[in-house]
Amino acid sequence: MRSTIILMLLIAFTGFSAQAQQAKKNAKHTIEVNGNCEQCQRRIQKAALTVSGVKSASWNVETHQLSLILNEEKCSLSDVEKAIAKAGHDTKEVKATEADYENLHSCCKYDRK
């Protein structure tokens, strides 16, 4: 009897753990992306939207915040950050290469830390 109860609890716990780790189809994320102007805004949003699974991308020029809605079954936040870095813009987690940064228009070059 006792082993049956323990077994049932173990199965229930495993089920809850697996359910908690499921990817979300409409996950909302906000990340900081360096940039200066509306040209940067178009480039950042375009780079994010090229990643399969990104449903929405909106970068705010004043706050430097990129709001995303993505399908975590198709892509990760890291995938989006890598695409943005390839376009020449740094995020907190992924930095653009020097060559990608240098390809930015002169007005789009921000202070790199």
Report domain extents, the chain: 23-108
Name which of 78, 75, 76, 89 is nearest 47 in CA terms: 89
Tell me, what's the pLDDT at 18?
Answer: 47
CA distance 35 to 96: 12
Q: How far apart are the C-alpha atoms of 48 and 64, rounded to whole Å? A: 14
DSSP code of residue 15: H
Would you state the pLDDT for residue 53?
96
CA 44 to chain centre: 12
For the domain 23-108, what is the CATH code?
Answer: 3.30.70.100
**Three-state DSSP class for residue 82:** helix
pLDDT tens figures, 19-41: 445 778 899 999 999 999 999 99
Task: List pLDDT tens digits, range 57-82.
Answer: 999 999 999 999 999 999 999 999 99
